[in-house]
Structure 1
Amino acid sequence: MTADRLVLWRHGQTDWNVTSRFQGQADIPLNETGVAQAYAAAPVLAALAPSALWSSDLDRTQRTAAALAAETGLEVRLDHRLREIDVGSWQGLRGAEVGAADPEAYAALRRGEDVRRSATGETVSEVGERVAQALTEIAEAADDEATVVVTTHGLAGRAGLCRLLELPFAHWRAFGSLDNCAWAVLQRHHGGGYWRVAAYDVSVRETIS
């Protein structure tokens, strides 16, 4: 069994998103705008008739997923592999602060290299591997022709999507970031069995069929 459609949904806005802090796996809650975003998006996603709802175990994703659970009656299932990238000691810092504390690593990050986010953090490649593994298992556990919504994070969702599509690392930045509470849709090709991008960075200001 394999799902036909995976919807990767980024969590709603947090105060750290607004102030451009490295959030990583810090358990920062949604702010009022983030909660409103989640409840505005929920009916649109519910119209896709999802049969399963998964989430990272961090609070901001769980609360985003809870809006769709309230709309659909689905249980929110948790998987820690869907967490955002671990930024280690960069957590809570802004870009300029990271540049001052770790100028070589920050310069490499700005160049698009697969740099470790601080000595104790992760690389994008590592995040892509763990998220793609989770997505593969989630899809394979679903019924054929099912739609599954997976609530995750900006970088983690993008990196996991690219790894699932088996794209080279250098391509991951080309997708751009998912906005808060926006989503990407992956559709399984029936003939080849591979995944393709059907929609990207969709929000409540847009609709998909």
Structure 2
Amino acid sequence: MRQALQHRRAKLVLWLLCLLPFAWLVLGAASDTLGANPAEYLIRATGDWTLRLLCMTLAVTPLRVMFGLPELLRLRRMLGLFTYFYVLLHLLCYSWLDMGFEWTDIASDIAKRPFILVGFTAFVLLTPLALTSSNRAIRWLGAKRWQWLHRLVYAVAVLAVLHFFWMRAGKSNFAEVFVYASVLFVLLAWRVVHSSVWRQLLRSVGFTR
């Protein structure tokens, strides 16, 4: 595993794998095989892939620590950027296929419908993380400020699940919501348990040394 992650083509393989869903959706749209409502299918599929890649991005650190694989860090940035790529596609599909780029209607829809407002807020919070993903941005912000900024991803994760929950609430279909919520809960709980603040709190009340 370590050799595979260290391989010079590991990033290229991940890049191709992350593009596969996009290629599949483009092919499906071109061949008209996305079902009776292609627009709805594209909006939901791009949203699903945003959530999946967000989970993968957040899973990098726990997997790195638990399995002693520091090489995984090489792939986290790409996963994060592809998360943003798919959320951009999700927003584009909604704005174009559902709303026809009617910006007044889009603004009104965001204000009126809570699940769209929550989803748009998650997109807004994710944008500065994508824009500051380079090494130059880390140097410009400083490592500490950069780390604090990128903790917004936890808020993004909560908002993304809430967006998905409200979207599925109309049809009372919560099976997938439960899966994503469970995965993200475990990933965020791991971070809380392993955070230095949490350890200091436990130490202060005598639970750890």
TM-score of the two chains, using structure 1 as the length reference: 0.33
Q: Pick the structure with more helix per residue.
A: 2
Q: Pick the structure with more strand per residue.
A: 1
Larger Cα Rg: Structure 1 or Structure 2? 2
Instruction: With a CA cutoff of 8 Å and minimum separation of 6, indicate the structure with the bigger relative contact order.
Output: 1
TM-score of the two chains, using structure 2 as the length reference: 0.33
